[in-house]
Amino acid sequence: MARVKRGVTTHARHKKVIDQSKGFFGRSSTNYRIALERLEKSLQYAYRDRRVKKREFRGLWIQRINAATREHGMIYSKFIFGLKKAGIEMDRKVLSAIAFDDPASFAEIVKSVQAVLDAEPKAEAASA
């Protein structure tokens, strides 16, 4: 039986790892064994952070909405409560974009929410 030399497949496998680890710091981009360890860790980070990214963006949207509502004398939690009472179904991503890009439209939304919140105690006092 003929002898099988595996240098070609090993070199190809090593080259694939080295190519994927391009841009890593120090020997992590050139030395196969270290590059393999760093590559595996980077893939773990990538998997984890695809989920963390969603949390971080939601936090950013909430901060932007809160900042915009405070300019109009309202806090975030009351604004969200008022949105639900007013029946305005906008998610935080869209509200954040409106607050960031079009402050005039956001001011109108805040006014409508404020009107609903102001009418709320009067309705309770009348029924009591």
Give the total number of structural domains in the chain. 1
User: Residue 97: inside a domain, yes or no?
Assistant: yes
Contact between residue 102 and residue 116 where contact means Cβ atoms under 8 Å apart = no
Residue 2 lies in a domain: no
Q: What is the DSSP letter of 25?
A: S
Which pLDDT tens digit goes with each residue over 106-121? 999 999 999 999 987 6
pLDDT at 122: 67
Question: Residue 105's pLDDT is what?
Answer: 96
Question: Taking a C-beta distance cutoff of 8 angstroms, is the pair 30, 13 a contact?
Answer: no
Residue 4 clears pLDDT 70, i.e. is over it: yes
Per-residue pLDDT tens digits for 42-59: 999 999 999 999 999 999
Are the C-beta atoms of residues 112 and 88 closer than 8 Å to each other? yes
Cα–Cα distance for residue pair 6/113, rounded to 1 Å: 71
Residue-number span of the structural domain to which 40 is assigned: 7-127
Distance CA 32, CA 17 (A): 7
Residue 31, both tokens: 């030395």
Q: How far apart are CA 18 and CA 116, in angstroms?
A: 61
Would residue 1 count as lying in a domain? no
Domain-located, residue 38: yes
Q: What is the pLDDT of residue 127?
A: 62
Nearest to 74 by CA among 120, 124, 111: 111
- Whether 88 is covered by a domain: the verdict is yes
Residue 79 is assigned to a structural domain of this protein = yes
- Does residue 64 lie within any of the structural domains? yes
Is residue 104 included in any domain, yes or no?
yes
CATH number, domain of 12, equals: 1.10.1900.20
pLDDT for 81-104, tens place per residue?
A: 999 999 999 999 999 999 999 999
